[in-house]
């Protein structure tokens, strides 16, 4: 493990390659995320965005390259993956809540059973997290009694309950109806404003423009262009990126 200091990127990817069989998904991805920074990764479907996030969290092994999280090589054979996932939380398109557990219980399970924290302390934190994601009063509701947007906010609170240093969001509004998209994006925006390090894969360009410190545009497994939102959306240099933006803006 490299001695890490806060002036260095919290997450550093360098020349990351990943293939599934004969299909190459990532072709030399490099990017840095500093502590407290929010970056949005955008691009067409099949560009490798979700795979990139899964590689950061060691859910998918890389073929070559390097991914460091706080100085720890993610794909070191000796890595404690559980420790990594405590440090880097991830929220998926599907909420993956336990259907027979209440919202409060879903949030409390991992800190109690994985971190071995005191149940009373965990419950206090879990209730505070439900307030943070604006679900106060829903503590004893089961997932089936909640809207999709509410379930996704419970999933965000559940990940935050592990007290991570960074959060990965993989198109978390993709499965939601338009009415509930805004409430989830508002929750993520608040986290970013509070200083949580966020890596966000999204198709919501207005959200990306508002929340991101940097926009990364990927296509066919490579980073084509990256820039702050004001520059990216008005002075995009790459033709593929301009064409993509013209189709969705």
Inside any domain, residue 236: yes
pLDDT at residue 83 in the model: 86
N-to-C CA span, the chain: 43
E strand or H helix at 150, and its extent? helix 148-160
Tens digit of each residue's pLDDT (9 = 90 or more) over 38-61 = 999 999 888 899 999 999 999 999
Inside any domain, residue 189: yes
Sheet containing 72-73, strands listed edge to edge, beginning at the edge strand earlier in sequence: 23-33, 11-20, 64-69, 72-73
The structural domain count of the chain equals: 1
Q: What is the mean pLDDT of residues 132-150?
A: 96
**Residue 19 pLDDT > 90:** yes
**What sections of 46-135 are H helices per DSSP?**
49-56, 81-87, 103-113, 119-132
Percent of the chain topping pLDDT 70? 98
Which tokens is 190 given? 């608040």
pLDDT band at residue 14 using 50, 70 and 90 as cut-offs:
very high
pLDDT at residue 246 in the model: 86
Inside any domain, residue 3: no
Inside any domain, residue 95: yes
Which is more confident, 218 or 2?
Answer: 218
Inside any domain, residue 69: yes
pLDDT band at residue 7 using 50, 70 and 90 as cut-offs:
confident
* Gap between the Cα atoms of 219 and 196, Å rounded: 27
pLDDT at residue 1 in the model: 55
Inside any domain, residue 65: yes
Which tokens is 142 given? 């089961």
* Gap between the Cα atoms of 95 and 9, Å rounded: 29
The range of the structural domain enclosing residue 168 comes to: 11-248
Q: How many residues does the chain have?
A: 249
**Residue 32 pLDDT > 80:** yes
The enclosing domain of 221 has a CATH number of 3.40.50.300
**Residue 2 pLDDT > 70:** no
pLDDT band at residue 125 using 50, 70 and 90 as cut-offs:
very high
* Gap between the Cα atoms of 71 and 81, Å rounded: 14
* Gap between the Cα atoms of 124 and 200, Å rounded: 28
Which is more confident, 82 or 42?
Answer: 42
* Gap between the Cα atoms of 124 and 122, Å rounded: 5
Inside any domain, residue 39: yes
DSSP letter string over 127-144? HHHHHHTT-TT-TT--GG
Q: What average pLDDT does the structure give for the chain?
A: 92
Q: What are phi and psi of 30, to 5 degrees?
A: -135, 130
Inside any domain, residue 1: no
């Amino acid at each position: 493990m490299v001695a890490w200091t806060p002036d260095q990127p919290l997450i550093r990817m360098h020349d990351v390659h990943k293939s599934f069989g004969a299909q190459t998904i990532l072709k030399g991805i490099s990017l840095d995320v500093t502590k407290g920074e929010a970056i949005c990764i955008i691009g067409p479907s099949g560009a490798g965005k979700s795979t990139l996030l899964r590689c950061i969290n060691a859910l998918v092994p890389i073929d070559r390259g390097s991914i460091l999280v706080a100085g720890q090589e993610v794909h070191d054979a000796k890595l404690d993956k559980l420790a990594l996932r405590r440090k880097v939380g991830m929220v998926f398109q599907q909420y993956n809540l336990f259907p027979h557990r209440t919202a409060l219980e879903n949030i409390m399970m991992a800190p109690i059973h994985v971190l071995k924290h005191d149940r009373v302390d965990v419950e206090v934190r879990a209730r505070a997290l439900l307030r943070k994601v604006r679900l106060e009063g829903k503590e004893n509701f089961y997932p089936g009694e909640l809207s999709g947007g509410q379930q996704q906010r419970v999933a965000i609170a559940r990940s935050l309950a592990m007290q991570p240093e960074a959060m990965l969001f993989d198109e978390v509004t993709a499965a939601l109806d338009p009415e509930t998209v805004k409430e989830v994006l508002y929750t993520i925006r608040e986290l970013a404003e509070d200083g949580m390090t966020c890596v966000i894969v999204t198709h919501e360009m207005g959200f990306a423009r508002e929340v991101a410190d940097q926009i990364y545009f990927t296509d066919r497994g490579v980073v084509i262009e990256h820039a702050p939102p004001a520059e990216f959306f008005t002075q995009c240099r790459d033709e593929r990126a301009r064409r993509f933006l013209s189709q969705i803006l």
